[in-house]
Structures are given as C-alpha cells and as structure tokens.
Amino acid sequence: MTYKTIDPSEYPLQFAEKAKHLQQLLSPYYKGELELHESPRTHYRMRAEFRVWHEQNDLYYIMFNPETREKIRMDEFVPGSGLINTLMKAVRDYVIDKPILRNKLFQVDFLTTTTNEAVISCLYHKQLDAEWEESAKQMHETLSPITDKLGLIGRARKQKHVIGTDEVVECLNIGNRHWKTVQTENAFTQPNAEINKQMITWAINSVGTPKHDLLELYCGNGNFTLPLSTQFEHVLATEISKRSVASAQVATEMNGINNVEFVRMSSEEFSEALKGDVEKRRLQNIDLTSYDFGTVLVDPPRAGLDALTLNVVSQYQRILYISCNPDTLIQNINDLSDKFTVTKAALFDQFPYTHHIEAGVLLERKTG
C-alpha cells in the first residue's frame, strides 16, 4: 500500500528508461527489436487497496510514500479505474457516520473489471457480528446501483462474510473473440487490463498455430490458458491455488473450451511427476503419454524458475516465458542459453511510474 504521486507528462521518459534497461539486460542473448507496450497513463489499475485513517470525525484513505513512509491522503486514486474512484467515495461517504461499519475498519480493497463489476473488501480489527452483517447488507443494497454486479466482503481474524459475491467476471476483447475470466477476491489477477490484453495478444502471435500441445505452468485463473487454447491441439495447465483452478475451470465452460485440462499442483510437484520421480494422486486420471508437448508457457513468481522446473522446460522445443522480474528472467535465460535462443522479446508496462518491469520472451531450441 505504497504510492508515489504520478505525473503523466513524465511517463514517456520513464517508459523509455525501462525499455533501455530491459534491452541492456537482454543484449547478451537477444539482438532483435524489443516490442514495446505502453500502459494508459491514468486509470489503468483494476484493483487497489487502501489503509483507512480515522481522525476525530473524519475518515479517509491513505497510502504511504515508498521512500519516506509518510502517509498520503487519497481522496482519489489517479491510477485506479473509474469504478474504483467512484466506489472509494461511495464507501467512505456511507460508513463515515455509521459506527457499526466504521468502528475498527482499517483497510478497504477494491477489485473491479472493465465490465463494471466490483468486489469491495472491508477489513476490521474486531469480530463481525449479526448487527454488522445487517448494516453491511444495507450498504450493499445502497451501493449496488453503481455497478452491474457488486460483492461486499467483511474480513476479520478467522472471519469472512460475503454479501452478494466474492468474484467478478472480466471480459476482454482479443482478436475476434470476447474472453471471459473469473476473478476472485484475494486471489491473483493481472492488475492492468489494457496491458493484460496486449500480453495475451503478443503470446498468441508469438506461438502461432503449431500442430502440437501446450504445457502451461503457473496458469492462475486461466488468463493465458483459454485464449491460447485455440492455437494448440490440447493444453495441460497447472496451478497450486485451489481457488484459481476452480475459477479457471468455470471460465473454461463459460468460453466453450473443450481441449484444456487443469491440474492443481505446484510447478515443482508437476516437474517431479513428469520426470517419473514420484506418483501424484492428482494426475491419476491424466495420461501424460497422450500429450505431444512442443511448447511450454511459464509465468512464475518473482523468484523465477527453480532448477528442477528449468530442467523440465528445457526438454521442449519452445518456451514462452512471462516474467515480472527481469533479474530472475535473465538468470533463467542464461541457464538455458546453451540449448535455446531468444527469438522474440517484449516489454509490457504493467506497473507505470514504478521500477517494476513485466517482460515476455520466446525461447526456441537451437538447431545443429
């Protein structure tokens, strides 16, 4: 929950610096053109979280300056979607004179979509009782006309009260199709919807339409899985989060996809099973020998790929690697450089006005 005041006029220079930095990091392995994908300069974040500050009769949101830790009052949030900004004000104005909802409220999180759906999570330093729930239901009823679908969640220690829903359905227009994904409160989702569309489009264009199967590790809620499924014969996708796998399976049905199987396993567990080192109960109904994997897609956490997973992905012809940490990306590319060449590379500015870099690379096996 840190925030540094943004100046949209500075964005071109900041983006150029990111591009230069990534190009330099990749230069030992890639001499081609780096595809550049700029973010919208304002209202690009579809989710945000704020601390709540109580000051006598006043109540307002704050974030902290990442350098000084000074608190910054947030009456609006320029990076946030228009819906986040509307709901920020609506929630604050509603709870400020209602002690049951206001007392011990210390954080509010917002998850929104381009389809005008939202989930609001209110976090408390107190246990939530029936009186709180009744007041929250009234709040939900009052705020619901703002959105097409609204969920309101109360969280306290070992408590989660859901009013309405705890998930939203995002719909992104990619190519000539509208792709639906299920996004759940407190689960990972791509925060920048426009950049997410560009990432998926780049991935589709990069892989083409090969006559083989796709293996995907760290698939999350199926964000890449479902649009890419049309490019491959079959897809096997793994993810450790039970809730994300459930969301992915629901979205698969929503989109009418029938060539994807999901496995709830970590990449490390799956790598062990793929090598035949261990038997895994969650794979008992899947015949791995029936797949003809030629491409593997990885979108790992900031730590990058572990040694075991690196060894497994190196068995395939192509590796499509989406990275949120260029340092570990470069380490992994270096580890693979004896066998693979980087043939495509892109910068996706998922987090404008920060030092964070989202990158995509396609590695193809060397010949000869």
What are the helix and strand counts (H, E) for the chain? 10, 17
Q: Give the bridge partners for 172, in sequence order.
A: 179
324 among known catalytic residues: yes
In the chain, the DSSP E strands lie at 35-37, 47-55, 58-64, 71-73, 105-112, 117-124, 149-156, 159-163, 167-174, 177-184, 213-217, 235-238, 260-263, 293-298, 318-323, 340-348, 358-365
The token pair that represents 158 in the structure block: 């070992």
Of the candidates 167, 185, 269, 358, the residue annotated as catalytic is 358
Q: What's the sign of the alpha-carbon dihedral 47, 49, 52, 53? A: negative
Output DSSP code: residue 314. T
Pair 259, 233: CB distance under 8 Å = yes
Catalytic residue check, 35: no
First to last CA, the chain: 51
| Radius of gyration of the chain from its Cα atoms, rounded to whole angstroms | 22
Q: Consult the annotation and say whether 299 binds a ligand.
A: yes
What the block records as the tokens of 226 is: 């479902």
For residue 293, list its beta bridge partners.
213
**Checking DSSP bridges between strand 358-365 and strand 318-323, what pairing results, if any?**
antiparallel
| 109 is known to lie in a ligand binding site | no
Residue 223 marked as a ligand binder = yes
Largest CA distance in the chain: 74
Q: Which residues are annotated as a binding site for S-adenosyl-L-methionine?
A: 190, 218, 223, 239, 299
Q: Which residues are annotated as a binding site?
A: 190, 218, 223, 239, 299
Query: Which residues participate in catalysis according to the annotation?
Result: 324, 358
